[in-house]
Amino acid sequence: MEDIIKNTISNYIIDEVKEINLSEKSELISIICQDFINSRQVKKAINKIKKNEFYLESELQCDIIEELEEVLEDLQWKESKKGLYVLTINKWLDSFRDEFNTIDKYQSVYLGGHSSINCIYVTGKLPDKDRGELVQYLKVKNPPFKIKLDLKD
């Protein structure tokens, strides 16, 4: 799930920067050629580029700022309560998703988050007689939130 979080500048922009004739090119590359870890780090890079200390062409400067703002938006989401909730659930699901998908009776059962309450939201179709077994299966996997069933027969 972490791979949906954009934390780097696109390669085509980095390649463009590498092609320009600029005395402080290595400093600029060190600013934009990194895996950003948090929003504070990105804001710092945006401010540096906005000051245009590198005398970049307007279009390239705008492209870099636009990319950095996308990174910032993703990292701010990742740092938010909702982002942490979604990433926590997906990390938990990733730990056993393949195994779960091989259990025939759970083929119509879907696991995920809920839009308004923090829980493991279980939807789909499953006969009443199999629900207790499903809950036990999930509890063994140490869910990070309570389990809420919304299953149909």
Give the model confidence (pLDDT) of 121-138 as tens digits.
Answer: 999 999 999 999 999 999
Give the per-residue pLDDT at 120: 98
Q: With the CA atoms of 115, 117, 121 and 124 taken in that order, what torsion angle do they form, in degrees rounded to the nearest 10?
A: -60
Question: Amino acid identity of 101?
Answer: N
Could you report the per-residue pLDDT of 88-116, keeping only the tens digit for each? 999 999 999 999 999 999 999 999 999 99
**pTM of the predicted model as reported, rounded to 2 decimal places:** 0.81
Domain identity same for 102 and 69:
no
Number of domains the chain is built from: 2
Residue 87 placed within a domain: no
Quick check: is 84 in a domain?
no
Residues 6+ apart with CB under 8 A from 151: 109, 122, 123, 124, 125, 126, 131
Structure token digits, residue 57: 């062409």
Q: Angle of helix 58-79 relative to helix 39-50, nearest 10 degrees?
A: 160
Share of the chain above pLDDT 90, in %: 88
Is residue 136, in this structure, part of any structural domain at all?
A: yes
User: In the prediction, which pLDDT does 25 show?
Assistant: 86
- Residue 109's SS3 state is strand
DSSP string, 32-78: HSS---SHHHHHHHHHHHHTTTT---HHHHHHHHHHHHHHHHHHHHH
